[in-house]
Amino acid sequence: METYADWLRARGDDELRALLSARPELLAPVPADLTALASRAATPAAVSRALDRLDRFTLAVLEALLVLPAADGPDTLATALDATSVQVADALGTLQRYGLVWGNGNGTLNPAPGVRQAMPHPAGLGPPVQEVFAGYTRERLTDLVTDLDGEAPRGFADSARLLRRLAELLSAPGPLIDDAGPDALAALDHLTWGPPVGRVADARRPVRVDTAATPIERLLARGLLAAEDDRTVTLPREVALHLRGGRLFRDVAAEPPPLTPPPGEPRGADVVVRAAAGEAFNAVRLVEELLERWGLDPPPVLRSGGLAVRDLRAAAVLLDVPEWKAALLAEVAYAAGLLTRSGDLDGEWLPTPAYDLWLMRDTAGRWTELARGWLKSDRAAGLAGERDDRDRLINALSEAMVRSSAPATRRATLDVLVDAGRGAVGEDALRERLAWLRPRRGGRGRDRIIGWTLREAAALGLTGFGEPAPFARDLLAGDDPEPALEKHLPAPVSEILIQADLTAIAPGPLVTELARELALAADVESTGGATVYRFTPESIRRALDAGRTAADVTGLLSRHSATPLPQPLTYLIDDVARRHGHLRVGALASYVRTDSSATLDEILADRRSDPLRLHRLAPTVLASGLQRADLLDGLRGMGLAPVAESPGGGVIVTRPDAQRADPPPTAEIVRLRPDERTDASMISAAVRALRAGDEASRHGAEQARLRADAPSGEPPRSPAMATVDRLRTAVDRGGRVWIGYLDQQGQASSRIVEPVRVEGGFLTGYDATRAAVHRFALHRITGVAELSDDPAP
């Protein structure tokens, strides 16, 4: 095997499936053959993503392989890393599974193409002497060798010979380091453990041992540092290894650090699940309350995008939560496709039609949609209210909230909690474990996302007292979490207790219809184990404004009250209804109309009406220069109960679901995005396509496809519903089917397909007639038939 592509070609199907499972980005789209797969796997982006998935020890093994001669084998690696041969062999197996290391058949392991370029300083070491000094001129190399050797090279010496002699002189640099002095040694200490590159002034100026004055000049004159350019110096690998005492790493552990629990007594499993389920229910309730309010009174979208600080604070006050939690709930609703902006310019944040469908689901189903959106979201809600690198405010729901590493870090954090089994994990121990599992993704940004993940997981109910709940474990495993969550949620109630002090107590979560109607007719006074509502003239008027009559409100409360309605409440409803609509406000700019001229006399005599700019047009009509909405607010502020009137004289009813934004594109709904993990059937189809493409490239496409020729005759036809049913059956059963497919010109052709997935209006499968994995639009499939069937006429 002379090339990396040859090595891939010699892998078995199981090994190729393991590679594609570990690096699913290589399948987007499926390469034409294994040579194309090898080229894609060697691109800088693909190599970097693969390296990001390696743990600290496996990454150290790869770095050691880059530094040490490949022929030395695993035993040398184990000695250099102070690990066992078994541990090194396991790490090498992982590297081969990821396609980052390959063998040429003689037992030697080599880094895959692109790995050296992606890791320019393996183990924090610079290039070897012959490489780092290769940019020196022949004259400068001659001066350097002369100073170190004590005499000029004999005869003519080209650059290659000078570099070899320089490498020999620096193979034991101890005396040279001592001769440079302690201040020069202190400068080397900064580069010893990496990075091996430093910045200095005027590094290119030639300097000799007898004229060097500063510590850096003494190091340059003795070859202990190499000048890369005018300001950059590099520590040669041989010198660094001498300073390290021959060690490649200061400390590298082959096993991950332990997961220690936080201080305090551990919680029982029942306590954990009850706490998590309670927070899950509360998160669903808060999202509903927020979107109900924004459906009636939507906040504007900032010109720079996002939600204004004052609107975020208003949401926090409305929900009685901290601002960070209000930002989280808004971001989760956005990720779940329940919230979006209306229009491109001067829009508003509004619920989508999907929100109304979401309301029709039970609480467990609603929570599942929110949790899936949060898991996949690339937005970090914890950034809301902070400032970016240019000292600009980061607003919730803005593009500045996007952090590409957020979903991977969030998932890795939760996976560690799940792998820990029963019991919570201390935050410091969690950070140490993640730093070992994903060392290349470290830094302050990741540590902050880890902290936000723990806080947000608790707020959304994925964890209770720091431990994942059983239903959260199901969610993370790709299973349905609803059955496990449903058992621990309070059952919705349809009865409330109405008291004589104009309050109503809901002893649990209300059924959706009652909750929405009660939110119209009453204000929430307090929440907790039970929710307390208070009836006021303003709340009753709100229900009447929404088109309800006094009889509707009284009937609703009578049906759902556990006791007869108290007299003060019926008096309140009747009194507000009697005065409601007595005044009518329309638009001239605006006018006030009533059947009682005495009422208008009272309004004009009241000094509070002065800002309304009213004047009389007729005994029962007043005109105003204000807009209708402003005039309505002004009259209501005077204690009156006007209603809005249309130009035809009808009452304008304001409904709570009147405002909805157009649904966003499916690609913007985070919870609908495909998982990074590709399912096994798709990977198997890709492997078949790669093998077929390889065969086609070697022997000719026609010969490779002879066995996949479609049957003769017209393409099959079948009803649309029968087509989808047959395709789904074929996915479950496996095997090939014969389909008819229309191209963009409307021409039908026959295809032999192994269906893998039917979703989102597309069939994904291995097209044996094209030797590739394709997506077929369902509306272009004319019909489906078994290979042994004749097409329907």
Q: DSSP letters along 80-95, please?
A: HHT--HHHHHHHHHHH
pLDDT number for residue 213? 83
Rounded CA separation 351/70 (Å): 60
Q: Is pLDDT at 701 greater than 50 in this prediction?
A: no
pTM for the whole thing? 0.77
Question: CA nearest 216: which of 233, 230, 228?
Answer: 233
- Over the stretch 83-110, which tens digit does the pLDDT of each residue have? 998 999 999 999 999 999 998 766 678 8
- Over the stretch 648-665, which tens digit does the pLDDT of each residue have? 777 776 655 557 777 666
- Over the stretch 346-377, which tens digit does the pLDDT of each residue have? 789 999 989 988 988 889 999 999 999 999 99
pLDDT number for residue 790? 45
pLDDT number for residue 127? 93
Q: Whole-number mean pLDDT of the chain? A: 86
Rounded CA separation 774/535 (Å): 60
Rounded CA separation 199/530 (Å): 65
List, edge to edge, every strand of the sheet that includes 523-526.
497-498, 503-506, 531-534, 523-526
Amino acid at 332: V
Three-state secondary structure string covering 198-238: EECCCCCCCCCCCCCCCHHHHHHHCCCCEECCCCEEECCHH
- Name residues whose C-beta falls within 8 Å of residue 341's C-beta, 6 or more positions apart in sequence: 301, 347, 348, 349, 350, 661
CB contact at 8 A, 228 and 157:
no
| DSSP bridge pairs for 232 | 199
CA distance readout (Å), 49 to 22, 35, 41, 42, 63: 10, 20, 10, 11, 16
Taking the CB of residue 188, how many other CB atoms lie within 10 A of it?
21
463, 464, 469, 475: CA torsion to nearest 10: -20
Residue owning tokens 């170190």:
148
Residue owning tokens 């329309």:
586
Tell me phi and psi for residue 400, to 5 degrees: -70, -10
Taking the CB of residue 84, how many other CB atoms lie within 10 A of it?
11
Could you tell me how far CA 603 lies from the centroid of its own chain? 57
Residue owning tokens 């409305």:
318
**CB-based burial, 13-52: b 16+ in 10 Å, e otherwise:** eeebbbbbeebbebbeebbbbbbbbbebbbeeebbeebbe
- Over the stretch 21-53, which tens digit does the pLDDT of each residue have? 999 999 878 888 899 899 999 999 999 999 999
Mean pLDDT across the stretch 239-256?
91
Tell me phi and psi for residue 332, to 5 degrees: -65, -40
Half-sphere exposure in the Cβ direction for 431 (13 Å, CA): 15
SS3 520: helix
Q: Is pLDDT at 710 greater than 70 in this prediction?
A: no
CA distance readout (Å), 253 to 60, 336, 742, 744: 10, 41, 58, 58
Question: CA nearest 23: which of 685, 756, 771, 683?
Answer: 683
Q: Is pLDDT at 792 greater than 60 in this prediction?
A: no
| DSSP bridge pairs for 752 | 738
Residue owning tokens 């290979």:
787
Retrieve residue 310's tokens.
């004052």
Mean pLDDT across the stretch 123-148?
91
- Name residues whose C-beta falls within 8 Å of residue 177's C-beta, 6 or more positions apart in sequence: 184, 185, 188, 224, 239, 242, 243
Q: Which ranges in 649-769 belong to alpha helices (H)?
A: 680-699, 701-705, 720-733
pLDDT number for residue 719? 85
CB contact at 8 A, 541 and 580:
yes
pLDDT number for residue 244? 92
CB contact at 8 A, 396 and 338:
no
Quote the percentage of the chain above a pLDDT of 90: 47
pLDDT number for residue 360? 86
Residue owning tokens 């009272």:
602
pLDDT number for residue 156? 61
- Over the stretch 725-766, which tens digit does the pLDDT of each residue have? 888 888 877 778 888 898 888 888 888 888 888 877 888 888
pLDDT number for residue 21? 93
pLDDT number for residue 311? 96
pLDDT number for residue 516? 82
Residue owning tokens 């390959």:
102
Rounded CA separation 8/36 (Å): 11
Tell me phi and psi for residue 413, to 5 degrees: -60, -45
Q: Is pLDDT at 303 greater than 60 in this prediction?
A: yes
pLDDT number for residue 615? 82
